[in-house]
Amino acid sequence: MKVSAHFAREAFWGCKAVDTARIPSCWENETDCFVNGHGNFYGYPRHYYEQVPAELLESVGNSTKIVVVSRNKDMRNGDYSIDYTYRDNVTTFFRSKGLAIQAHHSSGRPDDDFVYMCSARIFVQGGGGLSELVSAAVTANGGRVFKPRKVTI
């Protein structure tokens, strides 16, 4: 897979398949989100992302584009409609905050997706271990990672 350098105003967010049976309304309801034994989310609820668009726009400028890396075809022939709804909720959220959205459809090969996301200069971390690994690679390569987090008022 050939990877080119990405523009400084592109932020990547990766949405890989997650355990659909456990997050029927995770975007709106934190208690529906699957959390592993270490307290890490596999999909973050909306309020964890609330500060990310403002931080992106402040840091990078108003021409920031979110590149959503996901696959539209389930290679395992399962029902991933909840995953796709989650992905669509996240993209609608970022769009509503003034960020342009560009879809990057997966080749279907996880290694290609990993390399592609790791080449980002800016990465918006999602849930799960893959996103955590991509965040570490982006940081190690001198990039910046924006992490969702719970904001208390």
H-state helical runs in the chain = 46-49, 52-60, 81-96, 110-118, 129-140
Q: 43-101: per-residue pLDDT in tens?
A: 888 999 999 998 888 887 766 677 877 765 554 456 677 777 888 888 899 899 988 88
Residues 130 and 140: beta-carbon distance below 8 Å: no
Q: Which of 99-103, 108-112, 114-118, 135-139 has the lowest mean pLDDT?
A: 108-112
Look at the alpha carbons of 66, 52, 91, 21 in this order and tell me if their dihedral is positive or negative: positive
User: What are the C-alpha distances in Å from 150 to residues 19, 85, 122, 135?
Assistant: 22, 22, 20, 18
